[in-house]
Amino acid sequence: MATVAARTAPAAVQMSVVLWLAAIGAGAVEALVHLLLPEPPTLTQLAGRFGIYAVLTVLVLALRTGRDAVRWTVAVLLGGFGTLSLVIEPISWLMAGGSPGLFLVTAEAPALVAATLRIAHLVAVFSALVLMFRPAANTWFRAR
């Protein structure tokens, strides 16, 4: 019985995987919602984005192997670069004088849905990142 438990990822890692997949899903849905905006992405841009999502999904699922290198790769790529890619646009918009209040009262439904998905995406990323480095997760990754 102890052997089976040693192979099974702790709850923190399992929930981290679920949240990483939720974050990827939120990004995919947001990309599709952008098709309804005045300046929709091109087919090439969508294909590139979905290709990246596919690779990231495989990487996230590999967390269940317990390899610490996978954990750090996910942390850097999704937690670091991924987060940066999610916040650069809104921060640039704010620095250029954008008004969140005005956005909320004037934006059409697709833009509001996209913004909500972006927020959900970020919450899932931060939560998954924290769970991936909880004490039980640290012990499990070190033991692998």
**4 inside domain:** no
Tokens, residue 36: 């309804």
Domain count, the chain: 1
CA distance 107 to 128: 30
**63 inside domain:** yes
pLDDT for 10-36, tens place per residue? 999 999 999 999 999 999 999 999 999
Whole-structure pTM value: 0.91
pLDDT for 58-72, tens place per residue? 999 999 999 999 999
Give the structural domain span for 94.
10-143
User: What amino acid occupies position 105?
Assistant: V
CA distance 43 to 49: 10
**3 inside domain:** no
**89 inside domain:** yes
> Among 80, 53, 72, 81, which Cα is nearest to 137's?
72
**2 inside domain:** no
Tokens, residue 16: 């981290």
